[in-house]
């Protein structure tokens, strides 16, 4: 007989299988030019062991969270820097993507401006952003920071992130 947590893990695996069609590599482009690449299973038991806030977030979120390696650079309408590790990308249409940088990017929030150079039509998690420093009215390129994966979020989730304030290391 399977334990409850083992059954839950089986159910998550089944959900992941239903999300990806047979033979899918996760690297196919959707109609909007973004490339879904990773399905993350959220296990409420693991989240609960990590802390009650994370457990609540895991339960509140959908069971399966799709992250993307890349987003279409042509569709980026604007960005919002939440802290030294979190950037929100607002796309044409109503899509919003959260990018949690793998490492803190010192000065990102203070500079409040960055640039990126894309070699394809997409901005990807392997790309870097470069802070733009302003000294005496002169703009200079600053430090480079690597991007993380792109996670679609809703306006409501964004409001909660803004209320929580900066992420502390």
Residue 103 has pLDDT above 60, yes or no: yes
Answer with the residue of higher pLDDT: 142 or 6.
Answer: 142
Residue 38 has pLDDT above 80, yes or no: no
Query: Which region among 21-30, 64-73, 138-147 has the lowest average model confidence (pLDDT)?
Result: 21-30
Q: How far apart are CA 43 and CA 51, in angstroms?
A: 13
pTM: 0.64
Does a structural domain hold residue 169? no
Model confidence band, residue 164 (pLDDT cutoffs 50, 70, 90): confident
Does a structural domain hold residue 72? yes
Does a structural domain hold residue 89? yes
Handedness of CA 145, 106, 115, 135 (dihedral sign): negative
Q: What's the mean pLDDT when you consider all of the chain?
A: 73
User: How many structural domains is the chain composed of?
Assistant: 1
Does a structural domain hold residue 136? yes
Q: Are 139 and 128 in contact (CB under 8 A)?
A: no
pLDDT in the model for residue 20? 31
Does a structural domain hold residue 38? yes
Does a structural domain hold residue 2? no
In a 3-state reduction of DSSP, which class is residue 159? Answer: helix
Kindly state the average pLDDT of the residues 99-128: 92
pLDDT in the model for residue 121? 94
Does a structural domain hold residue 1? no
pLDDT in tens, 2-19: 444 433 333 333 233 223
Domain that holds residue 28: 7-164
Q: Are 106 and 114 in contact (CB under 8 A)?
A: no
Does a structural domain hold residue 34? yes
pLDDT in tens, 71-93: 999 999 999 999 999 999 999 99
Q: What is the residue whose two structure tokens read 């959900």? A: 15
pLDDT in the model for residue 18? 28
């Amino acid at each position: 007989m399977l334990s409850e947590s083992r059954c839950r893990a089986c159910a998550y695996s089944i959900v992941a299988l239903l999300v990806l069609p047979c033979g899918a590599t996760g690297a196919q482009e959707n109609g909007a030019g973004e490339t879904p690449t990773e399905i993350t299973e959220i296990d409420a038991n693991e989240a609960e062991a990590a802390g009650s806030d994370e457990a609540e977030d895991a339960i509140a979120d959908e069971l399966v969270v799709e992250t993307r390696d890349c987003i279409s650079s042509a569709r980026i309408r604007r960005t919002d820097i939440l802290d030294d590790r979190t950037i929100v990308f607002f796309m044409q249409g109503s899509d919003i993507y959260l990018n949690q940088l793998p490492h803190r990017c010192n000065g990102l929030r203070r500079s409040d401006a960055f640039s990126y150079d894309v070699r394809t039509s997409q901005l990807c998690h392997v790309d870097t952003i470069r802070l733009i420093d302003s000294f005496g009215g002169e703009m200079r390129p600053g430090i480079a920071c690597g991007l993380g994966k792109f996670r679609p979020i809703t306006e409501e989730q964004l409001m909660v992130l803004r209320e929580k304030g900066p992420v502390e290391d």
